[in-house]
Amino acid sequence: MAYTKILVIHNRLDKCVGYTQDPEKTSLEAAIDYALDREKTEQTCFETAVNCDRESVYADMMDTKRRWGKEGRKRKGYHIIQSFAPGEVTPDQAHAVGVEFARRLLGDRYEAVVSTHLNKAHLHSHIVFNSVSFVNGAMYRDQLKDYYGGDGVGIRGTSDAICREHGLSIIEPSEPLGGPVSRAEWEAARQGKATVRDLIRQDVDEAIRQAYTYQSFLSQLRRMGYRVKTGPRVKHTAILPPGGKGYIRLDSLKDGYTEADIQARLAAVRSGETPPDTPPTTFSRLLEPGRRYRVRGGMPRRPRKLTGFQALCFQYLCLLGAYPKRRPGNRAAFSMREELLKLDRYQEQFRYLRKNRIETAAQLSMQYDAIQAEIDALTERRGQLYRQKRRGDGGGEIQTEIEQITTHLRALRRDLKLCARIEGDIPKVRAAVEAQRPDHARRRPYEKTAPRGPDRHSGIDTALSAHRGREH
């Protein structure tokens, strides 16, 4: 599967060509540097220049801009990322597809550099190209129709056509409308996870079960918080979920959701053809009633009681249905169920809090400080090794240590970002947990064993904000 996305480069061209050195840079100079970083990606990347010299990509692009008097244009260039599913292609194949894609898309009109990176499970190519044609000075246009195009046309169409020729899979358009599928939806479907459309379909199915006529079906959707666009002047019924940004046509959800299909399902309910819903199967229902079991050996130790942030995150995961804590009859609001799409994110946070025994804002801040200090020390050490390597000291041992430090730094930076993400999510998690509790029970059970004083949940923003201030 080849997935493509395009980024517009507004800043310095040389920085964007170096973007491949640091994915957090966004300028053209950075993108070129990233694609051509020999030291950082040694033995882990293939490089090819298209319509220019590989050693002077940035200079060639700027010469073209000066020749046609377009140095001051807002759009300096474009950066396309073409990625493949893990294990689907070899490094040579991935690079060959990327180069062929650049040649077909840009022809003999725009300078470009193609760099295929091999340091991830999913091989991916970065194609950075000039916004100005060296042939006639024309600016490249990246309109939406140019991105999707048809088969063999535009960015997406060209990439798909080349992948088919090489026997690679592609992201097929959705049915029945044939519109493009987002990467998030494609990945969720491939992994069997729910998407926003899945949640909407669940609500539509629930509304059909509770309705008798088509009008009562629409009324039921409104009671669920949806806005409904329908009427004699509306060709296709569309709904807007709570907190949504755009209407979604019912017939675009999946096969069987046109107005005629829904009318037929409602008629089946009225005539008794549709069997009543069966109660959800739970683990307790799988056990035969009245059976007793003997456990050999000692009973397992009682798990440590959750307190502080750990209890808060666990309650939120229960609300999302990650653990069998909710009663089957309780149906969470759409906005709450939409968080199911981020279930992996919250489970990762909960596991991190448990693993590091973090329960309060102060402990989270201390963890952040410790990680940052280790990152600073390792970064300084790696800089010393780079200088030794440039002097020719140490040979292969220095390169091995550099790679080990780089791997460790990557893991530490992930943990640092995770701590920052926990800081940002805790207020929302707390509010959601409180909102789902009845008014008479809104005492915070996860605070029972928390230490007194300012170091409690309500202090997370203050404590971590103060920490950020000390950093700057």
Amino acid at residue number 124: H
Mark whether 239 and 309 lie in a shared domain.
Answer: no
Residue 296 is assigned to a structural domain of this protein: no
Q: Are residues 430 and 402 in the same domain?
A: yes
Tell whether 425 is covered by a domain. Answer: yes
Q: What is the pLDDT along the chain (472 residues), one digit of tens a residue?
A: 566 667 777 665 665 565 443 433 335 666 666 666 544 444 556 788 999 988 888 889 999 999 999 988 888 888 888 888 778 888 888 899 999 999 999 989 999 999 888 766 678 888 999 999 999 999 987 654 455 555 556 788 888 889 889 888 776 654 433 344 555 665 666 565 667 777 788 888 888 887 878 888 888 888 877 889 888 888 888 998 877 778 888 888 878 888 889 988 888 877 666 554 444 333 333 334 444 555 555 555 555 566 666 676 666 666 555 554 444 444 555 555 555 556 667 778 878 888 888 878 778 888 888 888 888 888 888 888 888 888 877 777 888 888 888 888 998 998 998 888 888 888 877 777 776 665 544 444 444 444 444 444 444 444 444 444 444 4
Query: Does residue 91 sit in the same domain as residue 232?
Result: no
161 and 31 part of one domain: yes
Task: Report the sign of the C-alpha dihedral through residues 315, 320, 326, 330, in that order.
Answer: positive
Q: Are 84 and 123 in contact (CB under 8 A)?
A: yes
- Which of 110, 91, 105 is CA-nearest to residue 159? 105
Please report, as a single letter, which amino acid is at residue 288: E
For residue 286, what are its two tokens? 């799988």
Question: Could you say which of 166, 200, 222 is where a domain stops?
Answer: 166
Q: Are residues 9 and 99 located together in one domain of the fold?
A: yes
348 Cβ contact partners less than 8 Å away, ≥ 6 residues apart: 418
Residue 394 lies in a domain: yes
What is the widest separation between alpha-carbon atoms in the chain? 87
Asked whether residue 461 is assigned to any structural domain, the reply reads: no
CATH number at residue 143: 3.30.930
Q: Do residues 133 and 242 both lie within one domain?
A: no
Q: Is the link from the previous residue into 324 a cis peptide, with omega within 30 of 0?
A: no
Contacting residues for 107 by C-beta, under 8 A, at least 6 apart: none
With beta carbons less than 8 A apart as the criterion, state whether 126 and 95 touch.
no
Do 386 and 347 fall into the same domain? yes
CA atoms within 13 A on the CB side of 204: 29
* Judgement on whether residues 158 and 199 belong to the same structural domain of the protein: no
Amino acid 227 reads R
Domain extent, residue 230, equals 183-271
Residues 198 and 132 in one domain: no
pLDDT given at position 205: 87
Domain total of the chain: 3
Q: How far apart are the first and last CA of the chain?
A: 43
**CA–CA separation, 72 and 442 (whole Å):** 59
Domain boundary among 108, 137, 166: 166
CA distance 265 to 245: 29
**Within-domain flag for 363:** yes
Helix axis angle, 396-436 to 460-471, nearest 10°: 150
The answer as to whether 227 is a domain residue is yes
Answer yes or no: do 120 and 254 share one domain: no
* Residue whose structure tokens are 């088509």: 214
155 and 44 in a common domain: yes
Task: Specify whether 158 is located in the same domain as 192.
Answer: no
Q: Which of 140, 166, 192 is the last residue of a domain?
A: 166
In a domain, 35, yes or no: yes
Does some domain include residue 248? yes
Candidates 55, 175, 153, 49; CA nearest to 104 is: 153
Predicted confidence at residue 40, as pLDDT, reads: 45
